[in-house]
Amino acid sequence: MIKKEDEEEFNSDLFEHYQFKADKGQDPLRVDKFLMNRIENSTRNKIQQAAKDGFIFVNGNNVKSNYKVKPGDIAKVMFSHPPYENLLVGEEMSLKIPYEDDLLLVVNKPPGLVVHPGHGNYSGTLLNGLINHFESLPSNKDGRPGLVHRIDKDTSGLLVVAKTEESMTHLAKQFYLKSSKRKYHALVWGIVENEEGTISKNLARDPKNRLIMSVPENNELGKKAITHYKVLERFNYLTLLECQLETGRTHQIRAHMKHIGHPIFNDQRYGGDRILKGTIFNKYKQFVQNCFKILPRQALHAKSLGFVHPKTKKELNFECDLPNDFLDCLNKWRNYSNNI
């Protein structure tokens, strides 16, 4: 089985978060007690565990449980997900399934659909739809039925889902051993100079913002992450890339692209949701803002997926078209570039 520390794409999910501002008359008080007094059904042990995990912040800075809250402080805590059996209820959902057999299925996830319950998404997830689609699904070590891997809510594209314990083990091993094939299309800010390249930089949780990943200053920290890319198309201020994952770390493409100075277009969490290239004339500014409205998410799509079938041992490869929002945004940039 896969080691738990190598399931980062699963273990990193945060289920719920709370934020409170201390009033002007607040007496100095340990942050764990401050939060426990304000969060219904919480316990001190739960809050202290969040502190040990690095998920308590005051004024944006990570703090220990004994930090003394002062007037005006803004305290935030994020908790890991509760037991999934309390949340996994089947819901009727229209799913795009390009392939299905007795052992697995491949689903084309639309943008905006959360893969599994977590971080305030209690229902309406892909997993809820899958549970309704099947009588039962196997669970991985984190209790997420059928899920071998995942993609972010606002990333569209292909996922493989296991239907039996045997296929779960077989497919998970392929992802662990990096023998599966995953290619993404990413629209990034700036002109990427080289036609192709490789980013081999460790990734770890950002010390200032635990919701994102970044490249540690100490290259011995973090976990190995390798992204191969090649240029598909160039626009005046953007580049369309094909990115192939050699590893599958949380936010890997998003964090790597930001690290090399080419954040993904309209990626709010990684700084791509503002005009980073081009002179901000009124017409250009309006054009970019219109593109943000057309594609109100990061421009990242899981375009292709390949793996060996657990039973037949044949290699299966799947591709899916870019969704309409991505296509419409690309067409606007093509027209803009051609008319300059």
The domain that holds 220 is classified in CATH as 3.30.2350.10
Residues 329 and 189 occupy one common structural domain:
yes
Residue 7 lies in a domain: no
Q: What is the pLDDT of residue 176?
A: 84
Last residue of a domain, one of 177, 208, 234: 177
Residues 195 and 172 occupy one common structural domain:
no
Residues 109 and 23 occupy one common structural domain:
no
Q: Where are the beta strands (DSSP E) in 196-299?
A: 196-200, 204-205, 213-214, 226-234, 238-245
Residues 187 and 336 occupy one common structural domain:
yes
- pTM, whole model, 2 decimals? 0.76
Q: Using CA of residue 241, residue 245, residue 246, residue 247, what is the dihedral sign?
A: positive
Q: Which domain holds residue 335?
A: 179-340
Q: What is the pLDDT of residue 90?
A: 84
Q: What is the pLDDT of residue 296?
A: 97
With beta carbons less than 8 A apart as the criterion, state whether 192 and 241 touch.
Answer: yes
Q: What is the pLDDT of residue 12?
A: 44
Q: What is the pLDDT of residue 1?
A: 37
Last residue of a domain, one of 115, 146, 177: 177
Q: What is the pLDDT of residue 339?
A: 85
Residues 125 and 70 occupy one common structural domain:
no
Q: What is the pLDDT of residue 16?
A: 61
CATH number for 18 = 3.10.290.10
Residue 155 lies in a domain: yes
With beta carbons less than 8 A apart as the criterion, state whether 257 and 263 touch.
Answer: yes
With beta carbons less than 8 A apart as the criterion, state whether 204 and 213 touch.
Answer: yes
Q: What is the pLDDT of residue 4?
A: 38
pLDDT less than 50: residues of the chain: 1-15, 84
Q: What is the pLDDT of residue 251?
A: 96
Q: What is the pLDDT of residue 329?
A: 98
Q: How far apart are CA 158 and CA 106, in angstroms?
A: 7
**Helices 324-339 and 282-294, packing angle to 10 deg:** 160
The secondary structure of the chain in percent helix, strand, coil, rounded to multiples of 5, reads 25, 25, 50
Positions annotated as catalytic residues are: 152
Q: What is the pLDDT of residue 87?
A: 59
- pLDDT tens digits, residue range 226-269? 999 999 999 989 999 999 999 989 999 999 999 999 999 999 99
In sequence order, the β-bridge partners of residue 318 are 305
Residue 196 lies in a domain: yes
- pLDDT tens digits, residue range 115-150? 877 555 667 889 889 888 886 677 665 556 678 888
Residues 218 and 240 occupy one common structural domain:
yes
Residues 214 and 289 occupy one common structural domain:
yes
Q: What is the pLDDT of residue 331?
A: 97
Burial class (CB in 10 A: 0-12, 13-18, 19+), 83: exposed
Q: What is the pLDDT of residue 11?
A: 41
